[in-house]
Amino acid sequence: MNLALRDIRHHGSRFLQTCIGLSLLLAVVMGMAGIYRGLVSEAMTILNDTGADIWVVQQDTNGPFAATSRMQEDLKYRVRSLPGVVQASPVSYQNIQMEREGKPFRFFLVGYEPGGMGGPSTLVTGRGIERRHYEMIADLSLGMALGSRLKLGRNEYTIVGLTRNMASSSGDPLVYVSLADAQEIQFKVDNNALRTDRRRVEKGLGAIEGLGNGQQAVLAPVVPTLAGGTHQINALVVKVAAAANPLLVQESIERWGHLRAISDSQQRAILFEGMIAKARKQIGLFAVILLIISAVIISLIIYTMTLDKVKVIATLKLIGAQNRVIVGLILQQSLIMGIAAYLAALVIINLTCDKFPRRVELISSDLQVLFVIVLGICVLASVAGIRKALSIEPAEALGG
């Protein structure tokens, strides 16, 4: 006969209420772990999907995600010519927030050369970008259907493909356009600014001593290309041949003096240290606090339940119950409470994880570790109750 289960059955509603409270706490802990895993996963999404060995960015920056990086697109030709380089693709990244149906609408715009690296590796539906302009691939979380249109700047883009779980390190859904479109969106300035820019260049040329009128007339046609050019990118993603040493490629690029070549592992470290480490500490601390609260609650409930059973325990001792029976009664109740709350929490978090605004990734190893922690907490939480139970004298069963 299991005394713990019978006691729980008798105090069903109190036990159920406690379990619900505990399960909500544990669900939050699971959610926290899931949010952390989601953060890591989101932060690494572009890196994983791109599969680059080297990220070439502006010198002295941690670009293109942790810092701004801007460089000329034509550098791709120079990088491609390096020994060991299999592929070098220009990419651009840009956060965009606009209003749509009266609500803020945020996404992370990725510009890539169709056929090159940096685009989506898999599509849920639709096709890849085939035309040079006005086509777009969006993540499902953006909430836009295949074939729908989105106005960006002066142009309207048609969604030709959809991805799943593609988000930036800040959790915004990824939207892909051709590099040409992305450059236009990111770098093209309006006509007034363009004219002002050209006048500044012309003025600069005019100020050069010794430049004759004839020479100035020759230079005039190139002024538009000197001012307001859009052929800029944020990074070059590089694939190195399997037989080649990526370190040598990195060194070659950095020897040019105006670029930084970051290996994939360095890029991951930059993202992790800069963008996730603090969040991890924050989330970890919250999870620890919640686990402590859970332990205190279990401990208090078990202790209270033990106090309620002083006469029962004394009677059991008097009729010859061994200490293991008494310890088992308290410990089993604590464990049953913890396990029931854990299972309920698992159901709750699985039912709600998709409703969170950011990705919640439930990893089975995390859940297993939490299960072991919950069991540990239950054992610890029952210590006070067990001590109290063992201190009860059988003689307390006597009297009125």
Partner 1 sequence: MYAVEVEHLTKIYGSGDSAVTALQDASMQVRQGELAAILGPSGSGKTTLLTAIGLINEPTRGRIVLGGDCVADNGWQPGFDLKRLRRERLGFIFQAHNLIPFLTAMENVMVALELNGVTGSKARQRAEELLRALNLADRKQSYPANLSGGQAQRVAIARALANRPQVILADEPTAALDTENGMNVMALLKSLAEENSSAILVVTHDHRMIEGFDRIFEVSDGRIVRES
- Strand 235-240 versus strand 85-100 pairing type: antiparallel
- Rule CB under 8 A: is residue 9 a binding residue for partner 1? yes
HSE-up of residue 241 (Cα within 13 Å, Cβ side): 10
Given the complex with partner 1, which of 15 and 55 has the nearer CB atom? 15
Sole residue written with tokens 């307001």: 228
Tokens of 267: 């890029």
Contact call for residue 11 and partner 1 (CB under 8 A): yes
| Spatial CB neighbours of 94, under 8 Å, sequence gap ≥ 6 | 108, 109, 111, 182, 185, 186, 234
List the one residue from 10, 103, 154, 255 that touches partner 1 (CB under 8 A). 10
Cβ-based nearer residue to partner 1, 153 or 394: 394
Closest distance of CB 387 from partner 1, Å: 19
Looking at the Cβ atoms of 294 and 306, the one nearer to partner 1 is: 306
Q: How far is the CB of 105 from partner 1 (least distance, A)?
A: 58
| CA 172-177-178 angle, 5° bins | 145
Q: How far is CA 262 from the centre of its chain?
A: 21
Piece of 123-131, 280-288, 319-327, 380-388 that binds partner 1 (CB under 8 A): 319-327
What b/e readout covers 144-181, taking b as 16+ CB neighbours within 10 angstroms?
Answer: bebeeebebeeeebebbbbbebbbbbebbbbbbbbbbb
Which one of residues 318, 339, 362, 363 is an interface residue with partner 1 (CB under 8 A)? 318
Q: Which residues are within 8 A (CB) of 52 and not within 5 positions of it... i.e. 6 or more apart?
A: 117, 237, 238, 239, 264
* Residue span binding partner 1 (CB under 8 A) among the ranges 144-152, 204-212, 332-340, 389-397: 389-397
Query: Which token pair is 239?
Result: 């694939």
Print the binding letters for residues 323-352 with partner 1: x by CB under 8 A, - otherwise: --x---------------------------
Nearest distance in Å: CB 39, partner 1: 46
Binding of residue 397 to partner 1 (CB under 8 A):
yes
Question: Toward partner 1, which CB reaches closer, 362 or 397?
Answer: 397
Q: Does 16 bind partner 1 (CB under 8 A)?
A: no
Residue 1 binds to partner 1 (criterion: CB under 8 A) = yes
Q: How many CB atoms lie within 10 A of CB 10?
A: 9
Q: Which residues bind partner 1 (CB under 8 A)?
A: 1, 3, 6-7, 9-11, 311-312, 315-322, 325, 393-395, 397-400
